[in-house]
Chains A and B, each alone.
Chain A
């Protein structure tokens, strides 16, 4: 257990003699070291709080919409139940200031349908974030396994894995995403029928996974390649450890750092890719609430109702900014030498 009492002597000792301090530090696990450095980085901590806040919002979307008394599917502008509280004018544009801000519609309403932007945004974040976590974990695991195999076994295995990686890298990514979404969906559902949201999500998962693992694989491969020649691995080999044990006990713990750093960069970029798919009209479709779809709608309404895109956009900018800064902080915490 790390208690404040245990921390204090270490901090004191690190002051007088660099040598002594370092020796003491080496006794701590890299995770503890990183955590200490990270805690001292104020930007990093603030950004971590912001990012966690977004995930909490996504997680609590049903609670939040209960609070606001709205939901992302109801057409407040068309549903006769809400006739006594009109939200749209006769042109289908929101009534009131800045896209129809009001006590019941905190972020305004969507033109034409009158759906609640706040509910659409929190549910949209829920869709995007959950989806992105799933995709990112999947492609990281794939990348790690492939990278480990290539890096550890080397030789011909490594050569062929490298060629396959190169091949996947030569795919025009964005074009591939767009082109294959309908095809992969067609694998599951007859094209003449309506595609359930569930399958759309699965199709996106597959497409993003297929073209997303290469970066991770390369990173892990190059790290493992340099680790393989290190003394402690050779010592393990000489003492008769099996390849499985060497990979698990000697190599993997040393690859965790770059993997975690990569994860904090990969997750926001996956979120943006998912948003991009929905924006291009091949990801989630009506009426599933999704972050990217809000931008597609927003640029469509930009001329008549410029306020619509404001809240989803600002939310995304803050999120990406916080996540990028967090990524830098995590990197610095792990590797204090990487001066910015």
Chain B
């Protein structure tokens, strides 16, 4: 097991490095000059020169890349001061250190992700299992139909509807906003309640469908049939035998979903004007801010890699047939 984790971690670090390289060189190697990108439409030669120098763009490309990547591990010195170990450089646009900007924005995205995950796991998987348990009944039909329709909604359509109903016309809720949990836990909860629920609705529908179909698939498995034939109660078989096998596809998708949400719930954040990681990526792209974009990309990729490893480890616990070697 330890060996497995070690091997995968090394792979993850290599992937992150390559990803950084691809991001960096695509950004810099675009034929249009980077500094003029950042400088914008009316750019004087003097300002262009200043920008180049300030950004370190006068150095060779390989050197620039090395400075950036080594800064993540060892920290970096800037004319404005030292930047501590996980240093993702300094934003070209705002001049703030990228790492602290990301850390400022991360709690919003984290709250959305974890809140959403709790909702869609409990409601979605629960409804899916119930539908599978009472297959063909009214409950099943309602759950299947509702999840089919709801999963066709998009956050950018459902979001404004919810805002119109609960905020603009009735005034039951305030405009969604992030409040740190340490300041005011109630405001933290109510502030992000609407975005979390809207985001979770679409996922809930998908998880209902998935949980239902994978439970039904599991019920047809031979070990499940054997357990039934031995005379175990259908409840016990359902929750002990079938449930465990049905978890595998759910865990796979959960890992993908959570990791991509942690890297920025872009649509939700834009719809509700929240300042999260996804919003940061949009800002970085629209300001053509290389360090910020690099930082957000690596941050997002980091979660994807971590959750890939966690998912594989989870398999081993859920399914004894899977041996990590």
Contacts and interface: CB of A to CB of B under 8 A. Distances in A.
Interface of A: 166-167, 170-176, 178-184, 186-187, 190-192, 272, 275-276, 279-282, 292, 295-296, 298-299, 302-303, 306, 309, 312-313, 316-318, 320-321, 324-325, 339-340
- Which size bracket describes the interface of B in this complex? 35 or more
A191 B30 CA distance: 11
Contacts of B23: 179
B260 A172 contact: yes
Contacts of A306: 160, 164, 168-169
A299 B304 contact: no
B156 A178 contact: no
A172 B301 contact: yes
Given A172-B300, A179-B23, A180-B26, A281 B168 contact: no
Contact of B156 (A172, A299, A320, A321): A299
Given A182-B288, A302-B163, 6 more contacts: A167-B18, A171-B297, A174-B278, A179-B281, A179-B296, A321-B152
Contacts of A320: 152, 154
B297 A317 contact: no
A299 B160 contact: yes
B266 A183 contact: no
Contacts of A309: 157, 160-161
B264 A179 contact: no
A299 B296 CA distance: 25
B31 A187 contact: yes
Q: Is the interface of B mostly helix, strand, loop or mixed?
A: helix
A60 B169 CA distance: 37
A324 B296 contact: no
Nearest to B262: A172
Contacts, number: 151
Q: Which 9 A-B pairs have the closest CB atoms?
A: A172-B300, A321-B152, A313-B157, A320-B152, A302-B160, A172-B263, A295-B156, A306-B164, A299-B160
Contacts of A312: 157
Contact of B213 (A167, A178, A279, A340): A340
Interface string B266-299: 1100110000001001101110100001001100
A279 B308 CA distance: 29
A324 B145 CA distance: 12
B32 interface: yes
Nearest to B280: A175
A320 B148 CA distance: 10
Residue among A292, A299, A317 facing the most chain B CB atoms (10 A cut-off)? A299
A276 B154 CA distance: 10
A170 B15 contact: yes
Contacts of A179: 23, 281, 284-285, 293, 296-297
Contact of A183 (B27, B148, B281): B27
Contacts of B36: 191-192
Contact of B15 (A167, A275, A292, A296): A167
B75 to A, nearest CB: 25
B151 interface: yes
B236 interface: no
A184 B169 CA distance: 42
Contact of A187 (B30, B40, B271, B297): B30
